[in-house]
């Protein structure tokens, strides 16, 4: 009788431990290695320093709640296009978005993520050694998508920064440089938004700002 009680007690303890372990909440990023946006595009998660980023340019055409973006960059509504209206380019380089889309409260990024702020980008760049060298560490290697020489590109973390050019009526400079919106507006100029440029000819990242036109977007975990 005593032996049976002991066995039952052990079984109870083991079951309790199992439930505790399987029920524990995992830390962000511990379980999932990919994220899917509203349109079904799948992105890998990469960790750089204390941040987690999506590994390619955003390509979604809907806000997080399912509302569609406009498919024309003019006007005052959030919008996207494909570079040169070519979907095959958009499939590789992501979509150019206007700044209205970046600032829309409905959100471009998947749940739990956001369009990178100016501070997010600054933290990333400082983690990688500063403006003079961070571009090389983030650019996709080779000249399949970047123009030669794609100077100093090592893509050390799988960030795969791509040169999506920009769109403003027509599309320009695909392969030569990539411009990335932040979600931070310029205080002194409410029509301008901070952004960062990467170039084929060097390893720098250049901070700048722009009025609404079409640039690429990257997302970071909340």
Cis peptide before 149 (omega within 30 of 0): yes
Residue 92's φ and ψ, nearest 5 degrees, are -95, -50
**pLDDT tier at 191, thresholds 50, 70, 90:** confident
> Could you tell me if residue 186 is inside a domain?
yes
CA dihedral for 89, 94, 100, 105, sign (positive or negative)? positive
Q: CB under 8 Å to 41, separation ≥6 — which residues?
A: 59, 60
Residues 169-188: tens digit of each pLDDT = 788 899 999 999 999 999 88
**Which pLDDT score, from 0 to 100, does residue 170 have?**
82
Does the pLDDT at position 1 exceed 60?
Answer: no
22-38: average pLDDT: 63
> Could you tell me if residue 15 is inside a domain?
no
14-34: average pLDDT: 48
Residues 174/164, Cβ–Cβ less than 8 Å:
yes
Q: Structural domain of residue 159, as residue ranges?
A: 33-221
**Which pLDDT score, from 0 to 100, does residue 125 have?**
98
> Could you tell me if residue 89 is inside a domain?
yes
**Which pLDDT score, from 0 to 100, does residue 26 have?**
37
Number of domains comprising the chain: 1
Distance in angstroms (rounded) separating the CA atoms of residues 209 and 150: 23
Distance in angstroms (rounded) separating the CA atoms of residues 137 and 129: 9
Average pLDDT taken over every residue of the chain: 88
> Could you tell me if residue 8 is inside a domain?
no
Distance in angstroms (rounded) separating the CA atoms of residues 196 and 216: 10
Residues 113-139: tens digit of each pLDDT = 999 999 999 999 999 999 999 999 999
Q: CB under 8 Å to 174, separation ≥6 — which residues?
A: 83, 84, 89, 93, 163, 164, 165
* Encoded tokens for 146: 């970047």
> Could you tell me if residue 56 is inside a domain?
yes
66-88: average pLDDT: 92
Q: Is 184 helix (H, G, I), strand (E, B) or coil?
A: strand
Q: Say which residue, 72 or 37, is predicted with more confidence.
A: 37
Does the pLDDT at position 10 exceed 60?
Answer: no
Strand partners, 193: 185, 210
């Amino acid at each position: 009788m005593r032996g049976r009680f002991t066995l039952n007690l052990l079984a109870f303890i083991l079951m309790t431990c199992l439930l505790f372990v399987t029920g524990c909440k995992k830390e962000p990023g511990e379980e999932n290695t990919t994220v899917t946006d509203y349109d079904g595009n799948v992105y890998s998660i990469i960790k750089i320093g204390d941040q987690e980023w999506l590994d390619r340019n955003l390509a979604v055409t809907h806000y997080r709640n399912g509302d569609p973006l406009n498919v024309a960059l003019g006007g005052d509504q959030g919008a996207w296009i494909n570079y040169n209206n070519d979907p095959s380019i958009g499939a590789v380089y992501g979509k150019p978005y206007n700044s209205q889309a970046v600032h829309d409260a409905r959100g471009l990024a998947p749940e739990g993520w956001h369009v990178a702020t100016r501070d997010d980008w600054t933290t990333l760049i400082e983690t990688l050694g500063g403006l003079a060298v961070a571009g090389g560490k983030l650019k996709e290697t080779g000249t399949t998508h970047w123009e030669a020489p794609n100077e100093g590109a090592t893509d050390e973390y799988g960030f795969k920064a791509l040169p999506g050019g920009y769109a403003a009526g027509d599309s320009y400079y695909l392969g030569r440089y990539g411009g990335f919106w932040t979600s931070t507006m310029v205080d002194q100029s409410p029509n301008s938004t901070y952004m960062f440029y990467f170039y084929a000819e060097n390893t720098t990242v250049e901070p700048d700002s722009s009025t609404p036109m079409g640039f690429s977007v990257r997302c970071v975990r909340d």
